[in-house]
Structure 1
């Protein structure tokens, strides 16, 4: 399954011209149960005045000594990292590093995940898509100046690129999931490549003076073309030369299973060590739909739907997160970005990750809206003090309202996890 790729591609959102009819999937989405957030972070603005900050992906760190003082670490792309308390108030802002030269791409933090390791400590790891590297931060809730401190090994190499010119083309480190092998105590990061189907397995390693680096173990390429039941070959419509990328990923720590969302295809299940054969556990509705890219509109014009797609996910498949209950039960949650819903699957592989239900995150008040066009999500099924005794779900909101005029506004919504699981069970 590991095959080298030498050509470079440019990613655009596939099926941008597809619409969902009011009598079909949109009606099904509207019928799903709704939950409302209890809090939201301040809006981020992806413009010069806002520091080019764009909310993308969260992770939840539980303070075991004092769960009320737990934290949410989240990416803001070119705006770096933000750290929030459980009231959704910012407690730290970490800037993304600049590029090595004035003409080089600046740092841009895409996805984030956490490491809890006896060897390495408590870490927040993020993909720096601008520089094609991992950035690694130690977590200390009581540290003066903020809980995160940069411990990235300065000798760390690019994840995928072989030169600065290649980095500047931005086919770089994108999606991320971390995993600590309970049998060996070794910690790993699984990283996807922007505008590629490639996944890389990196081992996190201790360096000098408390720094943390990484070494590449292996890579694996997911398919870019698919054989349909009618015998035709299909690839998602995209700009010329583009391949369907992966972003949302999560690893089940109980069995070392990686779930990876190939945005315009569906959700893959595979071994976190990137060995064996991946299994596509669900497809997006648009799977198998032919499309033609229109250079003038920079959109895809969809053909007739042959009916080979799924029924629960509308492209893109985005944030994946796990509700990992202690008894081995639990849920895999996926953001169905195209219809502003979330799909829930059984965590148990023996049940073939059966679909369990879905939900929407909708407005709580006139000033506290729901989640639309969600990029990233994180769930923690553990008590988090008085605010979230049933656990917490944090979701990105790609269209925060009410906004600030014409400025693009994004943020993160905090949702009681107990309300989510109750909604799915009903």
Structure 2
């Protein structure tokens, strides 16, 4: 069953939110802090020789008893999925196979998140949930309880002939405005939802994940249209510049499992907060804006770039996010404390906001590589956990890196990979609070 909801925020309502100043402390406008990493996954190449593998988004599965057996699961688009251990060694590679449907084509896996404790065929399982752009649906992979020590850590359990998430038929799917960003929401035991964004539009969908004859599928699709144009304090209306026929899309999404708050990064706009479930009360609040928010651009069809109408315009942007705003995830502290992390792709940094209250900006950092590992460039997806993972005793951040520029990388090929960063190092550098208690993360209780 599908329910479609209209836009929940009018232009006037959004304008009112934009007039309110972003909550920032002094550290947030200082130069980004610098942390280091010496741990990265093997390089992926987006060409025929490399299996058209382009890294995009990671998820961290934490083993309940032995954190050394935890795994990092990443999407590689047409290259499928990769599974790495806590030392960034690859333990499994899964191709982007055809979805189990009558009109299927080979998949393109874009984003991934973890659902803990789903009931499937009479047993409790943890599942990697994946958005498949070429089939406009979700795919599901059971995680072996042995984790990194398992022969095959992931096994697909997607039910047959799942409904397209955003399109009426295969012909529409082929236009590729399909399933894009993804987060899992588990509001209470026995209830699991996927939150999915649509490529090239402002639409967000939620679906309920269910057992269908011993496989996993979904039902109850709900749509919500986020804002695409904004009334500015100077009286003009700003529309983010995009290619013709494209709206300012969202990709990175994360759900606070304790409060039901969805954080969503609209790439050329900024970071939103809204409450789930989607409905008339899901009024979005713009937490922070990209630096060029409000600068009027025009699309040049020859260069295929957006150029400012007035090169000297200052706009109404924030200080921490340089478009594109991309990956989002949550570091859980005790109660409502902790942090929301967002990758600022345009300047190779990561913004940090408080999890509670009005999500006041804390500051930002960049990641420098050491010991033969390269710096993080153009990060897309990221994942963070407060739990000890292997040698990362104060939590772990995993982030996408594009392009990978390490000493052994073929610079003539499109190279990507993922880097592991100690959250303890981030916390010491930025004076953040570390709290590794398992009860902080509602998914791991």
Q: Same fold (TM over 0.5)?
A: yes
The answer for the alignment partner of 1:81 in structure 2 is: 81
Q: What does residue range 1-400 of structure 1 map to in structure 2 within 5 Å? A: 2-3=5-6, 31-98=31-98, 106-120=106-120, 121-142=125-146, 145-182=151-188, 185-208=190-213, 210-275=214-279, 276=281, 277-304=283-310, 305-348=313-356, 350=357, 352-365=358-371, 367-385=372-390, 387-400=391-404
Q: Offset at 1:195?
A: 0.4
- For the Cα contact (< 8 Å) 2:29–2:319, is it kept in 1? no
**C-alpha distance in 2 between matches for 1:112 and 1:96:** 13
**C-alpha distance in 2 between matches for 1:232 and 1:289:** 11
* Structure 1: runs of 5+ lacking an equivalent: 5-27
**C-alpha distance in 1 between matches for 2:411 and 2:153:** 33
SS in 2 for 1:119: strand
SS in 1 for 2:134: coil
**C-alpha distance in 2 between matches for 1:400 and 1:217:** 37
Q: Offset at 1:295?
A: 0.7
SS in 1 for 2:55: coil
**C-alpha distance in 2 between matches for 1:34 and 1:141:** 36
SS in 1 for 2:228: coil
Q: Deviations over 1:372-425 (max 9, x none)?
A: 00001000101123x111111000001111321300110000011111122221
SS in 1 for 2:172: helix
| Residue 413 in structure 1 maps to residue 416 in structure 2 | no
**C-alpha distance in 2 between matches for 1:319 and 1:148:** 23
**C-alpha distance in 2 between matches for 1:422 and 1:217:** 42
Query: What is the number of equivalent residue pairs in this alignment?
Result: 397
- For the Cα contact (< 8 Å) 2:187–2:258, is it kept in 1? no
- For the Cα contact (< 8 Å) 2:322–2:345, is it kept in 1? yes
RMSD: 2.1
**C-alpha distance in 2 between matches for 1:83 and 1:375:** 18
* Structure 2: runs of 5+ lacking an equivalent: 8-27, 433-445
Report the TM-score when normalising by structure 2: 0.85
SS in 2 for 1:130: helix
Q: Offset at 1:104?
A: 7.8
Q: Offset at 1:162?
A: 1.2
SS in 2 for 1:224: coil
- For the Cα contact (< 8 Å) 2:40–2:418, is it kept in 1? yes
Q: Deviations over 1:280-319 (max 9, x none)?
A: 1110011111111111111111133243111111000000
- For the Cα contact (< 8 Å) 1:99–1:130, is it kept in 2? no
Structure 1 residues 421 and 401: alpha-carbon distance in aligned structure 2, compared to 1, 3 A threshold: same
Q: Offset at 1:29?
A: 8.9
SS in 2 for 1:203: strand
Q: Deviations over 1:224-267 (max 9, x none)?
A: 11111111111111111210000000000110000000000001
SS in 2 for 1:362: strand
- For the Cα contact (< 8 Å) 1:104–1:168, is it kept in 2? no
Q: Offset at 1:106?
A: 3.4
Q: Offset at 1:30?
A: 9.1
